[in-house]
Amino acid sequence: MSYFWSPFLVRSGVRDDVGPTNIGLFNLYLYLDELDESWTNQIHGFDYLIINSGHWFNRNTVYYENRRIVGCSYCLLPNTTDLPATYTYRRAFRTAFRALENFDGVVLMRTFSPAHFVGGEWNAGCDCVRRRPLGSNGTVLDMYAAQLEEFRASVGRGRNRRMRVMDVTKMMLLRPDGHPSRYGHWPEEKVVLYNDCVHWCLPGPIDSWADILLHMLKMEARR
């Protein structure tokens, strides 16, 4: 079993040579059409691969295609188009799926995992305090739809027919109570800016992910 850290799935890094320095906690670059070889060069020989990505696409990022800047997100660079997260999310999955067309194992794509921020941005004192199921979220469902569309396109054109969807998006929209919130900090920590409404608590909703994964693995074993 191996874990590959690749929050964008494609080639990325930290920009420190150009652009303003006061744009927040992140200043990243992302090559939407280039593979992240830190994982794509190591997956062959595995029986199963779980692929997922999500909220990193909301960071301050400059985007490249064909080695040229095509846009950015919150980058404050002059004459640079601000691209929606759905555009870059779609492009990144398209490139990642290209690396999987000749993968011999089973690919499980976990769908977008929603956050439940209430009262502001993640670093501006918001929280996830809801205790009842939350209705649909347009931004989340747009990311979810882009992901599924690229998945279906990849299945249609690739040789690997052993690709499956581990669909958790809509069920997780119903669990705003399942995040660490302020309880993700030590009691004596003086944290006032951020609470964790992106990650999930255990035990809780993530237990259902484990159940789904186990069921899917059992189904594959019977094929």
User: Model confidence over 153-179: pLDDT tens digits?
Assistant: 999 887 667 899 999 999 999 999 999
The answer as to whether 135 is a domain residue is yes
pLDDT digits (tens, 9 = 90+) for 13-25: 887 654 444 444 4
The answer as to whether 34 is a domain residue is yes
| Mean predicted confidence (pLDDT) in 23-37 | 81
pLDDT digits (tens, 9 = 90+) for 58-117: 888 999 999 999 999 888 788 899 999 999 999 999 999 999 988 989 999 999 999 998
Which pLDDT does position 109 carry in this prediction?
Answer: 97
The answer as to whether 3 is a domain residue is no
Task: Identify the bridge partners of residue 28 per DSSP, sorted by sequence position.
Answer: 14, 61
Q: What is the torsional sign of CA 195, 197, 199, 202?
A: positive
The answer as to whether 4 is a domain residue is no
The answer as to whether 57 is a domain residue is yes
User: 203: cis peptide before it, omega within 30°?
Assistant: yes
128: left (phi over 0), alpha (psi -120 to 50) or beta: beta
| Mean predicted confidence (pLDDT) in 194-203 | 87
Q: How many CA atoms lie within 13 A of 147 on its CB side?
A: 25
What is the rounded average pLDDT for all residues in the chain? 88
The answer as to whether 208 is a domain residue is yes
pLDDT digits (tens, 9 = 90+) for 183-195: 888 877 776 667 8
- Asked if the model's pLDDT at residue 150 lies above 60, the reply is yes
Which pLDDT does position 102 carry in this prediction?
Answer: 83
Which pLDDT does position 160 carry in this prediction?
Answer: 66
| Core vs surface per residue 83-102: b (16+ CB within 10 A) or e | bebbbbbbbbbbbbbbbbee
Confidence at 118, pLDDT banded by 50, 70, 90: confident
Domain hosting 139: range is 10-222
The answer as to whether 171 is a domain residue is yes
The answer as to whether 1 is a domain residue is no
Instruction: Please report how the helices 138-157 and 85-100 are oriented relative to each other, as an axis angle in degrees rounded to 10.
Output: 30
Which pLDDT does position 74 carry in this prediction?
Answer: 83
| Core vs surface per residue 16-41: b (16+ CB within 10 A) or e | eeebeeebeeebbbbbbbebbeebbe
Our count of domains for the chain comes to 1
Tell me the whole-structure pTM to 2 decimals: 0.89
